[in-house]
């Protein structure tokens, strides 16, 4: 698996999809042999699920990889029912299935997506039931609740996750993002404080700069918003031209007295993915 990871890290023209596929296939083959030799060993089964998790990240046919992950994590949970990580992983598989369904606005696809997210939520709660101080489960539970429209519950559980692991910048950022999304009473102040805490540790954390810019813009602090967007622009790699154009457009809109909206700029909700 490490060889496949090294190949994908090369990126661009130097990475070989054929070589990577060969490494992935060999990883599946070798770990499968280990599982077959030790079918009642939860670690051996978990190792195979982990390999398929990586296959899903790199290869086509993601649903097939998700099915393998789900099947093996289910077996592992039966072999070691007290392990909270297996329920966490099964819940994450459900969320990935939901994402794979797309963003249908109505109909059976949307109903199925909501059902999968609810199933994920139940699995995260089960994980917490096995380990009360399991921060990753509270984090994933918060994301599931957000997806179902429960921002109050999402903030409550993201707060718990961050309280359990204060060093986790991802928990801090998402808690700030959730406060920003809800926007009640002291929420904007709480979000601003969290983003500033992150930037105090890492001033190059691009998403915190961007969300801080959004917060300043929406609270009519235009000059501060401009300063944050310009910092974002400085941090975006030159090869991400579409993302750079999006931020340049947002800066231009503010300078010309126009509000940034989905209609006059690229969708800011996709900013995080574009910069990773």
Q: Structural domains in the chain?
A: 184-276 (1.25.40.10)
- How many Å separate Cα 276 from the centre of its chain? 11
Q: Contacts from 221-228 at CB under 8 Å and sequence distance 24+?
A: 222/254, 225/254, 226/251, 226/254, 226/255
Neighbours of 154 (CB within 10 A): 24
Q: Which tokens is 214 given? A: 């959004």
> What single DSSP character describes residue 139?
H
pLDDT band at 234 (very low <50, low <70, confident <90, very high): very high
**Across all residues in the chain, what is the average pLDDT?**
86
Rg (CA), the chain: 21
Neighbours of 49 (CB within 10 A): 23
CB 32 within 8 A of CB 68: no
Within 8 A by CB and 6+ apart from 223, the residues are none
pLDDT on residue 257: 93
CB 81 within 8 A of CB 64: no
Q: What is the pLDDT of residues 116-156, one digit of tens each?
A: 999 999 999 999 999 999 999 999 999 999 999 999 999 99
CB 195 within 8 A of CB 208: yes
Determine the average pLDDT of the residues in 180-184: 96
Q: What is the pLDDT of residues 37-79, one digit of tens each?
A: 898 889 899 888 888 787 766 555 578 889 999 999 999 999 9
- What is the model's pTM? 0.83
């Amino acid at each position: 698996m490490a060889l496949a990871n090294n190949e994908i890290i090369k990126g661009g023209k130097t990475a070989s999809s054929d070589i990577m596929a060969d490494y992935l296939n060999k990883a599946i083959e070798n770990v499968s042999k280990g599982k077959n030799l030790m079918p009642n060993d939860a670690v051996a089964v978990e190792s195979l699920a982990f390999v398929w998790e990586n296959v899903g990240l790199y290869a086509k046919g993601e649903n097939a990889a998700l099915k393998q992950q789900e099947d093996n994590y289910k077996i592992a949970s039966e072999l070691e029912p007290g392990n909270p990580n297996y329920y966490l992983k099964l819940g994450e598989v459900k969320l990935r299935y939901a994402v794979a369904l797309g963003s249908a606005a109505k109909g059976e696809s949307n109903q199925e997506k909501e059902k999968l997210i609810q199933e994920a939520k139940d699995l995260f709660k089960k994980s917490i039931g096995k380990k009360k101080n399991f921060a990753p489960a509270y984090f994933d539970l918060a994301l599931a609740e957000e997806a179902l429209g429960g921002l109050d519950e999402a903030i409550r559980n993201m707060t718990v996750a961050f309280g359990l692991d204060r060093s986790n910048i991802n928990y801090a950022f998402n808690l700030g993002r959730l406060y920003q999304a809800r926007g009640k009473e002291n929420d904007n102040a709480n979000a601003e404080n969290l983003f500033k805490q992150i930037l105090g540790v890492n001033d190059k954390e691009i998403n915190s700069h961007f969300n801080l810019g959004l917060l300043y813009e929406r609270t009519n602090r235009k000059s501060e918003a401009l300063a944050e967007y310009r910092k974002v622009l400085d941090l975006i790699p030159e090869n991400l031209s579409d993302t750079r154009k999006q931020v340049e457009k947002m800066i231009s809109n503010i300078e010309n007295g126009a509000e940034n909206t989905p209609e006059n700029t690229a969708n800011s909700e996709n900013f995080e993915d574009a910069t990773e």
